[in-house]
A and B are shown apart, each in its own frame.
Chain A
Amino acid sequence: MTDAIRFILNGEEISLGGFGPTETLLDYLRLKRRLTGTKEGCAEGDCGACTVLVGRLVEGLLRYETVNACIRFLGSLHGTHVVTVEHLAAKDGTLHPVQQAMVDQHGSQCGFCTPGFVMSLYGLWLSNDAPSRAEIESALQGNLCRCTGYEPIIKAAEQVGAERPSSLFDPLERDRSEIAARLWDIRAHPETIVVTRDGARSIVPASMAALAEIIAAEPKATIVAGSTDVGLWVTKQMRLLDPIVFIGHLTELQSVTVDDRGITIGAGVTYAQALETLSDELPPMAKLLDRLGGGQVRNMGTIGGNIANGSPIGDMPPPLIALGATLTLRSHSGTRTMPLEDYFRAYGKQDRMAGEFVEKVFVPRLRDDAYFAVHKISKRRDEDISALCGAFHLVLDAEGRVEDARIAFGGMAATPKRARHVEDALVGQVWSWGLVAAVRDLFEDDYQPLTDWRATAEYRMLTAKNLLTRVFLETAGAPVELRRFEMEEV
């Protein structure tokens, strides 16, 4: 066991101990390192002014991802390469092409959001040779600009996509193999790390088995993968958490496997990683994921975390429940598997016992003849929390009767919940306009939604009913969807 984490910051390898479990990367950069190019705009992962890149080894390859430094705890950085805006320009002051494009296109006005945009554009530039407008917009979903109206920033992304210099220019391309080797070295002999400050501990388990032991011994520990939710407990509610057990580095929790039976997603798989598999396997899920958070949140947040926290407005549970997913919990004494819908007992209450953690979720293969759709409704199209999110999974028999119906909603009840009354009324009946018109009001028996700042109860209920109507129209082949781009890419 050691008492310091190791990571690389720009060009410098750092061994860091003596920090508190809730200390953020942003405060470390700004206050301790005086790297003030990275800004605090909201301290909740919604504005992107604090965007930095974090490089990590995923399946053996060094992968750089944009993250929000404001809600990223230091303890999660072991074995990573943190890259800030200060690392981009050449030593002689020559701007990186991404920066130069922003200057050329008048992409900054007040300039406060600009370093964050530069980093998001940089992340895109590293991973995509010729991004489309849709891909550029996706990459910028987590960055707010209040001055420019975004047009010049989009143009900057297009300019830099068109002018790719030699890789020697770029610090990350140039140093890629060296950095990868150093990260390998850091992770070569994993040991559990416990960093302590004023008695409060950050625990970085060496393995999943070590995690199980730690959780068994520390029933009050907070388990943190991406900290896209827990981060706000700290920055907004000022909660003191001790200990925090970090799991984002555990490769055992990060695999996505596809076989004849279905898809198994480890609890530590980020939305962004899941998106890569799901865009082929379950396109409606991929479309949903593209509207979940911004790129930074998708790079941090995990499918497991979105389930484990039990939020009634998490976007993963409704489609997973509709697909008949099962959840596996692990403790040091073994595993336990249940239908996902059974995990959500009541508001804030999940079927997870002390010492257990979410290990994986299994999604059964969708039948070829099944219909599956998921519709997210939010005030703003992208990077918004759902007012409601409805998932529909229907199987019709040869006569056009509903053989099986699984419908689940988020935002309509205190937990993600199936619409049993509607399902029961559909099953056995001929899938028709008349059937839909007859059963849509049964949502009122399934749900009593709330009114809040995202929507009124009336709107939620009406829209839930209308989504069933949409599902019918879609199965009938009618054009019912707003499309920002002709070929909606994700």
Chain B
Amino acid sequence: MILRKLNLSKITLHLMFITMSLAFILPLILVVSISFTNEKWLMLDGYRFWPKEFSTAAYQYVFSGAGSILNAYGVTIFVTVVGTLLHLLITAMLSYSLTRPEVKHRRALTFFVYLPVLFNGGLVPQYILLTQVLHLKDTIWVLIIVYLVSTVNVLIMKNFFRTIPDSLIESARMDGSGEIRTFFQIVLPLSKPALATIGLFVTIAYWNDWMTASLYIESPNLRPLQYLLQSLMNNIGYLQSNAQASQSMEAAIGMLPSEGARMATCVLAIGPIILLYPLLQKYFEKGLTIGAVKE
């Protein structure tokens, strides 16, 4: 009797979690399914969780290079890789130095780093600075510069560097290693777990960013993937809200990629995240203990 009751509650528990997991995964599967469905069926039958007629036409279109998607992929990869590496380097150098007792004014400097959490000028002054003073509008660098430093990441990194024993740095100094060399050859290799965690978050931030491009980028060949996706969606949105216009627009559909191609682009934008997912999940859970609750 007890055994049966136990099993019943266990089964309920797992059933609940299976249902919940489906609620988180099925919407994604829907997008994947649409991208593999023959266009004709999308028109006739709407979206389905399983393609009525399987087709890879959308992906062929995407990879033929017709929709400037490959170019957008290139922009996103460049921005993500360069941005993440620079972010990690800058953050590590800054937060390590802020923990060193040799730096006399480190308390004041730490406060300088934290103050922007309290008050910031907001979007408009930054926009004017980047466009009219630094003339970064419509360059690839503007996509990188806006996320180069994050106060919170400096804070997390600083907490991590505190755990590196001072004796290690001291003995390197005795061996005649300069401070900068000590940092690169001894401290950085020890910081791999913290760098990996922060790096994954920064990678995601760069990869998923559309807002910066939407404000600063005009040239079609500088559009990152997410921004390209957003402009494609704006077109659909326009068609949806103007039913009459959509008839004539769909007649002149040459300018818009097909529905399937849009969804295929979306799937390709998620792709790398899914591929990296086991790694992501692992470092995400690790990161929770490194950064404590300070997200």
Partners in one complex: no
